[in-house]
Structure 1
Amino acid sequence: MTASIRQQLAFVRPIPRHLVHRASVAEVYLTDAVAEGQDRFLVAAQWPRDHALYYPDGNGCVDPLLFVETIRQALVYLAHQYYEVPLTHRFVGRDMDFEITDPDLLKVGATPLPVVLEVAWAWTGHRPPQRYGMRIEAVLTVGDVPCARGSLRVVAVDEKRYGLLRRRGGLPAGPGRAADRAAQAERLPAHQVGRLRAKDSVLKSAGRPGEWDLELDLGHAILFDHPTDHVPLMVLLEGFRQLGYLQTTEGDAAVPHTLTGASMDCLAFAELDAPIRLVMTQHRLPADAGSPALLRVEAVQSGVLLSTVSMSWAAGSRAPAAAPGLV
């Protein structure tokens, strides 16, 4: 049955951008979805061969954060299209995790990569119509073969309850500011954090052992695809990823590592107009050549713990050096 349902999936064009909360059509990866049974779906997506931020690693494999963004889009799309969650509701991320189980299937080839998510839907803390609590478990398949898994839990609330949640955090919900040139100059060089373009680096040294500052540019066309009143989950995850790369790849002679898994909890809203510190709380080196490096990082703002993440990084082959002057 699954095989025949898969044949119904189309990869011709992206779904409407508003159904995945994106302003740019270029940032929409989903192309179709079909129901496979009660609260089970097949979701089709097409991944680009290259991307300004989510580009292939030195081994030619798809950026794992592209997988995470596809999970996010799948949850939002299914919520609106199949479960009638209002488009006016605000979505707030609670937790996320993923694991790459077969990276060889995620090699970028001569054409964009068609993938299918096998999605299981569940309600959590569900009190409609004001509050919709939802979670999806997704298995990523390429050519019908599983190669990764992930999950995402979100709550969607109406404007009244969203306002209550925002005030409960105790921090001002200001509009924030775009990073000025002086702040951009303080960021770590892009090649040190595993990025190609200087404007994609979001880290700067905090001047304290084990701590870094998250330096955001609200004008970044991908990280901030549309205006928002807080720092999105995917932006925090990008900061965590860059810090992980920095810690696992030391010096130009080192072999770069690849992010193969992460588990992230979101505990409070991250505001746009107050400094955010990333604090390394654990860095466990691999026990042998085949073991991953394990890292744990916390995001803290004004004394409030915003988010925690545990990451797994595997050593890969040496990648070509990136030009640090790209902008």
Structure 2
Amino acid sequence: MHRAAVAEVFVTDAVALGRDCFLVGSQWPRDHALYHPDAHRGSDPLLFAETIRQALVYLAHWHYEVPLSHRFVGYDMDFEITDPGALRVGGRPMPVVLEARWQWTDRRPPRRYGARIEVGLSVGGRSCGRGSLRVVALDERSYRIVRGRVGRAESGAVACGEPHRRVEPGLVGRLRHKDSVLVHGSTAGEWLLRPDPEHAILFDHPTDHLPLMVLLEGFRQLGHLTAHAATAQPGGPALALVSAAVDCLAFGELDAPTRLVVAEDETAAETRSGHRLRLGALQGDTLIASCASVWAPVRHVTGGDRPVGPPVPCQA
């Protein structure tokens, strides 16, 4: 899973159904230090994103025999929660199933393996989401050529700034101060991505660049701050992240300031169809990643258990 901590592994098993078609099992915790449920007991959508990432890594190593020593570089990821009510946290950990299809995009063994995974998410046979992830897995020599930073230390100093300057966690949808990754920038509407370099989840193992999930967490927090500031209504429903599409355009350096900006902000009429945000991450004048996200009012149905049934297999 490319995780150092066993507690951060969510994928539990996988079954090959046919050519490049799989069912991947996962168990989501009832609570989590970073990916915790919201006030209405809705599962954190980034649990879905992390499970997609883990599923791709697991299938690459387990089924397609990509060497464990290869480096994985993400190009783009997207996910959509189509039925938030199915992901309401109950009295036990949530068993979820990914119906996954694998596609090679640039396969040149043994040095380079480019692949894309597309998944459907279900809980107890109830379809509730979809997503995809595209990566390339490189041997050490190929990675160093692509990286262009030969001799760089494996784990550089993260530009973290002063911890006390980070935005209050409640304003970005987090519970702990150390989970906030945003700091006010020098101008209005500009924010700096300043995660805690000692964060046990965001930096679970050594890395020489900003991980995809760290960038996604920054986009999520800025989206939460922006969407709720723009649509706050007394007694109105809170907004939840229901979809995100991230494009990674360049490596994010650990020791360079990373600015997060709102490139486009669109509030739908009466907020019924959500709040759409396009966000960008820049180092200097270089756009290293972008994110198109949708925040929508979610009213979770109370009472009753989630329906239980067999997952629907994909056709081989």
Same-fold call, TM cutoff 0.5: yes
Kindly indicate whether residue 85 of structure 2 is the aligned counterpart of residue 85 of structure 1: no
Q: 1:260 is matched with which residue: 236, 242, 247?
A: 242
Q: Residue in 1 aligned with 2:193?
A: 214
Structure 2 partner of 1:35: 16
Deviation at 1:255, TM superposition (A): 4.5
Q: For 1:148-182, what per-residue CA distance to the aligned partner results, in whole angstroms no more than 9, with x for missing partners?
A: 000000000011111011117x9x767432567x6
CA drift at 1:208: 1.1
Question: d(CA) in 1 for partners of 2:190 and 2:159?
Answer: 20
**Selected match of 1:176 from 156, 179, 200:** 156
- Match 2:171 to one of 147, 169, 192: 192
Query: Aligned partner of 1:34: which letter?
Result: V
Q: Which residue of 2 aligns with 1:281?
A: 263
Structure 1 distance, partners of 2:218, 2:42, is: 20
Task: Give how far 1:252 is off.
Answer: 9.5
* 2:227 aligned residue: 248
Q: Which residue of 1 aligns with 2:44?
A: 63
Quote how far apart the aligned CAs of 1:302 are: 2.2
Aligned residues: 297
Is the 2:3–2:204 contact (alpha carbons within 8 Å) kept by the matching residues of 1?
yes
With normalisation by structure 1, the TM-score equals 0.87
Counterpart pick for 2:286 among 265, 279, 304: 304
Where relative contact order (Cα < 8 A, 6+ residues apart) is larger, the structure is 2
**1:317 Cα offset (Å):** 5.8
Q: Is the 2:158–2:255 Cα contact (8 Å) retained in structure 1?
A: no
d(CA) in 2 for partners of 1:216 and 1:195?
A: 13
For 2:181, the equivalent position in structure 1 comes to: 202
- Tell me the distance in 1 between the aligned counterparts of 2:107 and 2:55: 19
- Alpha-carbon distance between aligned partners in 2 of 1:162 and 1:309, rounded to the nearest angstrom: 25
Question: What is the DSSP-based 3-state SS (H/G/I as helix, E as strand, rest coil) of the residue aligned with 1:195?
Answer: coil
How many angstroms apart in 2 are the aligned matches of 1:281 and 1:231? 21
Deviations 1:93-143 (A, max 9, x none): 000000000111000000100011000000002211110000000000111
Displacement of 1:309 in angstroms is 0.4
Question: For residue 262 of structure 1, what is the amino acid of its counterpart?
Answer: A
- Go from structure 1 to structure 2 and tell me whether the alpha carbon gap of 1:289 and 1:216 turns closer, same or farther (over 3 Å shift): closer
Q: Structure 1: how far apart are the matches of 2:181 and 2:159?
A: 10
CA contact (8 A) 2:96 2:124 kept: yes
Q: State the Cα deviation string for residues 260-286 of structure 1 (Å, max 9, x = none).
A: 001110010001101000011101012
Percentage identity across aligned positions?
A: 57
Equivalence for 2:208? 229
Divergent runs of 4+, >3 A? 172-175, 251-255
Q: TM-score, normalised by structure 2?
A: 0.90
2:228 and 2:272 mapped to 1: Cα distance? 16
SS at match of 2:202: coil
**Map of 1:101 onto structure 2:** 82
Query: Which secondary structure state, in structure 2, belongs to the residue aligned with residue 313 of structure 1?
Result: strand
Are 2:158 and 2:254, in contact at CA under 8 Å, matched by a contact in 1?
no
Native 8 Å contact 1:260 1:313 kept in 2 = yes
Match of 2:303 in 1: none
Q: Which residue of 2 aligns with 1:15?
A: none
Q: 1:249 to 1:255 in 2, by over 3 A?
A: farther
Offset of 1:211 from its aligned partner? 1.2
- RMSD, aligned CA: 2.0
Q: Is contact 2:37-2:43 (8 Å) kept?
A: yes
Tell me what 1:17 maps to. Answer: none
**Structure 2 unaligned spans of 5+:** 301-316
Change (3 A) 1:123 1:194: same
Residue 24, structure 1, aligned to residue 5, structure 2: yes
Checking the alignment, whether the CA contact within 8 Å between 1:58 and 1:317 is kept in structure 2 is: no
Shift of 1:289: 3.6
Contact persistence 1:244–1:295 (CA under 8 A)? yes
| Runs of 5+ unmatched residues, structure 1 | 1-19, 319-327
